[in-house]
Amino acid sequence: MSEQIKWAVNHMPGTEDQNLPIMGLKEIGKARAFHESFPQYSKTPLTKLEHMAAYLGVKEVYVKDESYRFGLNAFKVLGGSFAMARYIASETGKDVSELPYSVLTSDELREEFGQATFFTATDGNHGRGVAWAANKLRQKAVVHMPKGTTQTRLENIRKEGAQVDIQELNYDDCVRLAAKEAAETPRGVIVQDTAWDGYEEIPSWIMQGYGTMAMEAGEQLNEQGCERPTHVFVQAGVGSLAGAVVGYFTNLYPDNPPTFVVVEADVAACLYKGAAAGDGKPRIVDGDMQTIMAGLACGEPNTISWDILKNHVKVFIAAPDWVAAKGMRMLAAPIKGDAPITSGESGAAPFGALAAMMTMEEYADLRNDIGLDENSKVLLFSTEGDTDPDRYKNIVWEGKER
């Protein structure tokens, strides 16, 4: 555990916050209604870890468990499926509310819209979600994966009927390849959960799709007697999920938003680097970005999310691999009386960070910067289960960190 957690308190200048309305409650209500139209839909659990909260020295800990999402073991399908629906809606001159699952999968729509090819780059979960949604909606999908991707993750995507390969490129270069191929293909569309100048509409739809998870969590907190979390921890790769969660809860609690904490893999901590620089400009990390947190190994921030995050996040954290491994083990074997959670490498990083700062004296300053104490009610998102079962067993059962 030689590598240390690094963090940056947000002192960046604010902006006009023009992207916050993307995650407005009405917009997210549309995404939620769309997902509810799927026969596979059910709310994923929000698990309250009562004994763990007492052990960590906070009042309440809640973990949203996305390993149950649509049988795909990860939350990502929420974004890709809604973006496809919004795209088909725009192409056919309809509102997305007119295109529930039953209409999207109908022969009538197939005749009206035909078939598009959706291109994407992925480390696993996003591509699997796009492939699954394309399969269900009778569209085509082409998926590129970065070097270092495991065969298990590739096969999970191939099973959904997509054309898929592993490239000798890092994640961000795979995104560029997918964008180039989509541009060269008749009816080719890039469905990527990162935004850059000139490519903002589809990523904003993907973020709205992620909002379904945040909306469910807000309702489930109320059902469990928590009117409002004091702290929300969320992990970030390009930052789309983080921007979606922070944006939604800022809109949900406009007068008294929670304290937001973003957790990244230290080798791909582009948002942390931007926050540490303090000028509000995005920073890019390149190279191979070797980390067990494959879902967070992205070095170029989503421009829409970055705008939301720099206005509303309190602290950005860069976490070494041991933090994710610690989170995975603690969630798998929590304190007796709490339900165990199967949380993958990227899913467990925020919980690992919370556990480290509450139990390790060297991170007392981090705890204080975030304002965590015995009155804190913390919400976290376990965004994936054991998406690579062998690697999960190696970390949780064998005590390895790779």
Average pLDDT of the chain?
96
pLDDT exceeds cutoff 80 at 91: yes
Tokens of 13: 């200048």
CA distance 323 to 43: 28
Which of 300, 346, 306 has the alpha carbon at shortest distance from 175?
A: 300
Average pLDDT, stretch 157-179? Answer: 96
pLDDT band at 246 (very low <50, low <70, confident <90, very high): very high
Tokens of 93: 């001159």
CA distance 160 to 402: 27
Nearby residues of 106 by Cβ (< 8 Å), 6 or more positions away: none
Terminal-to-terminal C-alpha distance of the chain: 13
Tokens of 389: 């079962």
Amino acid at 328: M
CA distance 193 to 126: 8
pLDDT exceeds cutoff 60 at 227: yes
Which of 231, 303, 230, 247 has the alpha carbon at shortest distance from 271?
A: 303
- 1 three-class SS: coil
**CA dist 58 → 5, 129, 263, 374 (Å):** 20, 35, 19, 4
Q: DSSP of 284-337, one letter per residue?
A: ---S----S-GGG---S--HHHHHHHHHHEEEEEEE-HHHHHHHHHHHHS-STT
Domains and CATH numbers, the chain: 6-74+202-396 (3.40.50.1100), 77-199 (3.40.50.1100)
123 is catalytic: yes
Average pLDDT, stretch 51-80? Answer: 97
Q: For residue 2, what pLDDT is reported?
A: 65
Q: For residue 251, what pLDDT is reported?
A: 98
CB atoms within 10 A of CB 188: 18
Which of 138, 119, 114 has the alpha carbon at shortest distance from 130?
A: 119
pLDDT over 70 percentage in the chain: 99
Contact 235, 246 (CB under 8 A): no
| CA torsion angle 347 315 271 281 (round to 10) | 160
Q: For residue 124, what pLDDT is reported?
A: 83
Angle at 153 between CA 343 and CA 340, to 5 degrees: 15
> pLDDT tens digits, residue range 194-225?
899 999 999 999 999 999 999 999 999 999 99
Tokens of 148: 């270092």
65 is catalytic: no
Contact 74, 383 (CB under 8 A): yes
Angle at 95 between CA 22 and CA 212, to 5 degrees: 45
**CA dist 185 → 80, 179, 297, 357 (Å):** 19, 10, 28, 49
User: Which residue in the block uniquely carries the two structure tokens 């496809």?
Assistant: 84
Q: For residue 173, what pLDDT is reported?
A: 94
> pLDDT tens digits, residue range 294-350?
889 899 999 999 999 999 999 999 999 999 999 999 999 999 999 999 999 999 999
Which of 152, 125, 157 has the alpha carbon at shortest distance from 141?
A: 157
pLDDT band at 1 (very low <50, low <70, confident <90, very high): low
Q: For residue 206, what pLDDT is reported?
A: 97
Question: b/e for 307-334, b at 16 or more Cβ within 10 A?
Answer: bbbbbbbebbbbbbbbbbbbbbbbbbeb
pLDDT exceeds cutoff 70 at 181: yes
Contact 252, 219 (CB under 8 A): no
For the entire predicted model, the pTM comes to 0.96
> pLDDT tens digits, residue range 10-33?
999 999 999 999 999 999 999 999
Strand order through the sheet with 117-121: 163-166, 140-145, 117-121, 188-190
pLDDT exceeds cutoff 70 at 177: yes
Local structure of residue 66 (DSSP, 8 states):
G
Active site residue: 48, 64, 76, 136, which one? 76
CA distance 115 to 140: 7
Active site residue: 123, 172, 266, 307, which one? 123
Average pLDDT, stretch 97-107? Answer: 96
Backbone φ, ψ for residue 285 (5° rounding): -115, 135
pLDDT band at 250 (very low <50, low <70, confident <90, very high): very high
pLDDT band at 288 (very low <50, low <70, confident <90, very high): confident
pLDDT exceeds cutoff 70 at 96: yes
CA distance 26 to 135: 28
